[in-house]
Structure 1
Amino acid sequence: METLIRQHMAAEERADPEGSVAMYTEDIEHDVVGDPGGPKHGIPAALEFYRGLCEEFRAEKEERTRTYYADDAITIENVMTGTVPNSFMGLPGDGRRISFRILHVFEFRDGRISRENVWLDSASIVAQLTAPARTG
């Protein structure tokens, strides 16, 4: 399970949408809580999500802070850092570098990731993207 998560996260950091979904089951449920489009079902829908994400956010690193294990699931808390070249969550990024907490709940079946549930600290993201630009 750890190997699959590490491969998935590494693909996100490389801005590799195809690599991000390579360890998913065909019927993956990809659920970013609060996404207006709701949960995505199947690899094509998840791939479309990651293609859009790669345009909106350039992940630089995810620093794991906590890990919780179950028989067929892992929950991880991370601090995500990256750059917003254009816009993210409907807000202009203008190349800003942001960091925020993120919680992933991964479920596994048949040696693959069958569900990914993602919770973002959206208040922190909004605060950073709407704060006055620093000068000097």
Structure 2
Amino acid sequence: MTLTRTEMDRKIDEHFSFEAKDDVEGVLATLSPDVEHDIVGSPSGPTRGRDGARPFYEALFSDLSESRVESLRRLYGEDFVVDESVWRGKAPGRPFGLEGRGRPLEFRLLHVVEFAASGDIRRENVWLDLAAIVQQLPQD
């Protein structure tokens, strides 16, 4: 079964809306049970399954707040979408190992999202602009 662009948009937008609400359970519900979750450059490397993705989202939601994601463009394939976005919010914690100190933060993201026949996300590959993050969160 091939998903339509509308169905893919609906799922990724649902995923992003749960992220904006810091809703770990909601985010995990958009993922397939055997999801491959890959935040490129993460020391832990790719994880498998919802339980494997959980620690990333728990840390993310304590490190970043007031999350807003603006999609700039999407490219579609038969069972995947590439989403180029900008994340905006604040960094009260230690995002990506850097002291946030509650400072505002904005950076580009690239998501490569593959979908299972059920419509759930079976692979999420995330690339983020770490250079922009480091520049905005200098460590004195």
Same fold (TM over 0.5): yes
8 A Cα contact 1:31 1:38, kept in partner: yes
The answer for the alignment partner of 2:4 in structure 1 is: none
Matches within 5 A, 1:1-136: 1-110=8-117, 111-130=119-138
What is the alpha-carbon distance in structure 1 between the residues aligned to residue 37 and residue 57 of structure 2?
Answer: 10
Report how many aligned residue pairs link the two structures: 132
Structure 2 spans left out of the alignment, 5+ residues: 1-7
Deviates more, 1:43-52 or 1:26-35: 43-52
Q: Which runs of 5+ in 1 are unaligned?
A: none
Residue 18 of structure 1 aligns to a residue whose secondary structure is: helix
Bigger helix share: 2
2:27 is aligned with what amino acid?
Answer: S
Query: Superposition RMSD on alpha carbons, in Å?
Result: 1.2
Relative to 1, partners in 2 of residues 1:56 and 1:34: Cα closer, same or farther, differing over 3 Å?
A: same
Distance 1:131 1:67 in 2: 34
The runs of at least 4 aligned residues of structure 1 exceeding 6 Å deviation read: none
State the identity as a percent: 42
The structure that is strand-richer by fraction is: 1
Q: Which amino acid aligns with 1:118?
A: V
Q: CA deviation at 1:66?
A: 1.2
Asked if structure 2 preserves the Cα contact closer than 8 Å seen for 1:59 and 1:80, the reply is: no
